[in-house]
Chain A
Amino acid sequence: MKFNIYRYNPEADKKPYVKEYELDNVEPGTMLLAALLRIKDEQDETLSFRRSCGEGVCGSDGMNINGVNGLACITSTDDLKQPVEIKPLPGLPVIRDLIIDMDQFYKQYRAVKPYLIVNDPMPEVELKQTPEQREQLDGLYECVLCACCSTACPSFWWNPDKFLGPAALLQASRFIEDSRDQAFEKRLENLEGPFKLFRCHTIMNCVQVCPKGLNPTKAIGKIKNKMVTRSL
């Protein structure tokens, strides 16, 4: 199986280049991460990429695979056209090879205050929800922050410092929808302005690439609807 992998070591290389690799005896059902680990073990130990859980839970191994962002650990090599073109997630600075600098991504994540804000004194037992209230969080809480969505979003490419991006906005929606949160008004106020939320032009690349099958565009639409309802 053939792979063309983006390589760049800023300490040694003047500019990025693509290196070809070939793996023999790739068994059916092999995940891309396993193939990359084999390349690293058997052919080139300098190849750098992030990975951890290996089963699509930690979100570490996001990369651009044949032009589409995804997690290498849950992408089967059976479905990939050869040679498999592997690049780092686009739109963020490359630290080395497939490792990107995610500071900007996390900065936008922190900007939406991704935690429950409760002003009342905390109860002695847990903050309870009805099953219906809990259901509102389905499709929002499952995000693993792999950055596949935000780095596939042209609006995030053009304004990564101002537009929060689909991942952060999905998290914003997750706390706006949460019945236990008491900062509903403040959260909506925080998203006002031309950039933070309204750079989303419903391109829907985020929906296409989300490895967890989530729909940030729908979540962003729900936030917009809540802002309209609130302003009326």
Chain B
Amino acid sequence: MSLYVLEGLRPWVIQRVSAVYIVLFIVYAVLCFFTAETIAYTSWKSWLYDPFNTTVVGIFVIALLFHVWIGMRDVILDYVHNIMLRIFILAMLVGILIGCGLWVFRILLLSVVG
């Protein structure tokens, strides 16, 4: 998987589609927050336990990770001209984003299992 480093159109489309989903999710999350009866860890956990919410949060995390990846890739392609340094930074970024993704999915999994 090239992770879209060498592509133009596909990452551009993914960036836009993910941006639309992120905006829609934020609106939904804010609405849920302000209409919640209580603001507490247990109510958040039960909100996340709902299969619909687990799904939309999971998709949100994937969309956010791709959006960040493509945005940061663009910044690096713009400003970092040394090829080896560029590969190093991109690799670091992939590592950090995969780490963040796994962490969030662990939280999601624990909220569903527990």
Identify the A interface with B (CB < 8 A): 155, 158-159, 191-199, 201, 224, 227-228, 231
Contact, CB under 8 Å: B6 / A158: no
Contact, CB under 8 Å: A201 / B8: no
Kindly state the separation between the CA atoms of A199 and B11 in the bound complex, as whole angstroms.
12
Contact, CB under 8 Å: B9 / A231: yes
Q: In the complex, which residues of chain A have a beta carbon less than 8 angstroms from the beta carbon of B81? A: 158-159
Determine which of B8, B13, B79 lies in contact with A194 in the assembled complex, contact meaning CB atoms within 8 Å: B8
Q: In the complex, which residues of chain A have a beta carbon less than 8 angstroms from the beta carbon of B13? A: 228
B37 sits at the interface (CB 8 A) = no
B5 sits at the interface (CB 8 A) = yes
Kindly state the separation between the CA atoms of A192 and B6 in the bound complex, as whole angstroms.
9
Contact, CB under 8 Å: A159 / B78: yes
Q: In the complex, which residues of chain A have a beta carbon less than 8 angstroms from the beta carbon of B8? A: 191-198
Identify the B interface with A (CB < 8 A): 5-9, 11-13, 73-74, 77-79, 81
Kindly state the separation between the CA atoms of A193 and B11 in the bound complex, as whole angstroms.
10
Contact, CB under 8 Å: B6 / A193: yes
Kindly state the separation between the CA atoms of A200 and B11 in the bound complex, as whole angstroms.
13
Determine which of A155, A158, A224 lies in contact with B12 in the assembled complex, contact meaning CB atoms within 8 Å: A224
Kindly state the separation between the CA atoms of A198 and B10 in the bound complex, as whole angstroms.
10
Q: In the complex, which residues of chain A have a beta carbon less than 8 angstroms from the beta carbon of B73? A: 194
Determine which of A158, A196, A197, A227 lies in contact with B78 in the assembled complex, contact meaning CB atoms within 8 Å: A158
List 17 extra interface pairs beyond A194-B73, A198-B12, CB under 8 A: A155-B78, A159-B77, A191-B8, A192-B7, A192-B8, A192-B9, A193-B6, A194-B5, A194-B6, A194-B77, A195-B8, A195-B77, A197-B8, A198-B8, A198-B11, A228-B9, A228-B13
Kindly state the separation between the CA atoms of A199 and B81 in the bound complex, as whole angstroms.
14
Q: In the complex, which residues of chain A have a beta carbon less than 8 angstroms from the beta carbon of B6? A: 193-194
Kindly state the separation between the CA atoms of A66 and B11 in the bound complex, as whole angstroms.
37
Q: Which 8 A-B pairs have the closest CB atoms?
A: A198-B8, A193-B8, A158-B78, A227-B9, A194-B8, A192-B8, A198-B12, A194-B77
Kindly state the separation between the CA atoms of A49 and B11 in the bound complex, as whole angstroms.
42
Kindly state the separation between the CA atoms of A110 and B9 in the bound complex, as whole angstroms.
22
Q: B38 CB to closest chain A CB, in angstroms?
A: 43
Nearest to B79 among chain A residues (CB) is A158
Q: In the complex, which residues of chain B have a beta carbon less than 8 angstroms from the beta carbon of A201? A: 74
Q: In the complex, which residues of chain A have a beta carbon less than 8 angstroms from the beta carbon of B11? A: 194, 198
Contact, CB under 8 Å: A194 / B7: yes
9 contacts between A and B (CB under 8 A): A158-B79, A159-B77, A159-B78, A193-B7, A194-B5, A194-B6, A198-B12, A199-B78, A201-B74
